[in-house]
Amino acid sequence: MQIRELSIPDAYEMTPKQHADDRGVFLEWYRFDQLEQAVGHALDLRQANLSVSRRGVVRGIHFASVPRGQAKYVTAVHGAVLDYTIDLRIGSPTYGEWDSVLLDDVDRRSVYLSEGLGHAFVALTADAVVTYLVSDTFNPEREHGISPLDLDINLVFPADLESRSLSPKDIEAPSLQEAAAAALLPSWDECRSFYDSLRTKD
- Phi/psi of residue 192, each to 5°? -60, -40
3-state secondary structure of 195: helix
3-state secondary structure of 76: strand
Cα separation, 10 vs 202, in Å, equals: 17
Does the active-site annotation cover 62?
yes
Buried b (16+ CB within 10 A) or exposed e, 121-146: bbbbbeebbbbbbbbbeeeeeeebbb
Task: Please identify which of the residues 62, 84, 112, 195 carries the catalytic annotation.
Answer: 62
Q: Which residues contact 29 (CB under 8 A, 6 or more apart)?
A: 14, 16, 75, 108, 110
Does the active-site annotation cover 132?
yes
Task: Please identify which of the residues 41, 78, 95, 132 carries the catalytic annotation.
Answer: 132
As annotated, the active-site residues are: 62, 132
